[in-house]
Structure 1
Amino acid sequence: MSKRDDLIAKYAADMKDKLGVTPDMDLLTKVTIGCGPSIYSADAETVAGTDAEELERVKNNFLIRKLGCADGPELMDAIKKVLNDYGSANRNKYRAVVYYQLTKHFGKESVYS
């Protein structure tokens, strides 16, 4: 298996363990690929849930630019819900998992078709 395949398997296991969901592996793979090289950097691989600037970056760069969501308070509410569901005690909130959950939340799976 490639390193990317190993990471996708790790993200899927993380979703089952911490979120109690079985991911759509095709969508998870596409979201992970869409994260680009950030998944290979320990710092960039995770989302810092307590960093307001990081949350703004997720909102602007992923939700608005990538998914095409209209800006509004519901975007930050969705980010906070996903991070809360992931668990505040969980330090490693993987970017690909957060992006996957946000994609599902907004029903934007077609972006990855």
Structure 2
Amino acid sequence: MGKRDDLIAQYAEDLKSKCGMTPDMDLLKKVTIACGPSIYDADACTVAASQASELETVKNNFLIKKLGLADGPHLMEGINKAIETYGKSERNKYRAVFYYLLTKHFGKDSVYG
């Protein structure tokens, strides 16, 4: 198994233990691959959920550009729901897991079809 496979296994474990859900492994793999090299970068592999600027970036670059959602207050509501699901006290929110949660929340699995 390569490093990416190890990370996907780690992300799946986070979804099970911290988010209380059984991951769709095919979707998780596709979301992880779409994150590109950021999953290997110590700073970029996590989402700083306490920073408003980081959440704006997630909203603009992921929800609007990648998932094709229209801007509106429902986007930040979805982001906040993902933060709650992952656990507000959870310091390391992996980007791939966070994006997976958002993809599921907004029902945009088809983007990774």
Per the TM superposition, whether the score is higher than 0.5 is yes
Equivalenced residues, count = 113
Partner of 2:39: 39
1:89 is aligned to 89
CA distance in 2 between partners of 1:112 and 1:85 (Å) = 22
Q: Which consecutive residues of structure 2, in runs of 5 or more, have no partner in the other structure?
A: none
Q: Distance in 2 between matches of 1:33 and 1:70?
A: 24
Partner Cα separation in structure 1 for residue 102 and residue 88 of structure 2: 17
What residue is the counterpart of 2:60 in the other structure? 60
Q: Secondary structure of the residue that 2:42 maps to in structure 1?
A: coil
Kindly state the Cα deviation for residue 7 of structure 1 after the two structures are TM-superposed: 0.2
Mapped partners of 2:93, 2:108: distance in 1: 21
The alignment partner of 1:19 has SS state of: coil
Which one-letter code corresponds to 1:62 in the other structure? F
Q: Which runs of 5+ in 1 are unaligned?
A: none
> What RMSD, in angstroms, separates the aligned Cα atoms of the two structures?
0.5
| Cα deviation 1:33-91 (Å, max 9, x = unaligned) | 00000000111000001100000000000000000000000001100110111111110
Identity %: 71
Distance 1:25 1:86 in 2: 17
The normalised TM-score by structure 1 is 0.98
CA positional deviation for 1:104: 0.6
Corresponding residue of 2:9: 9
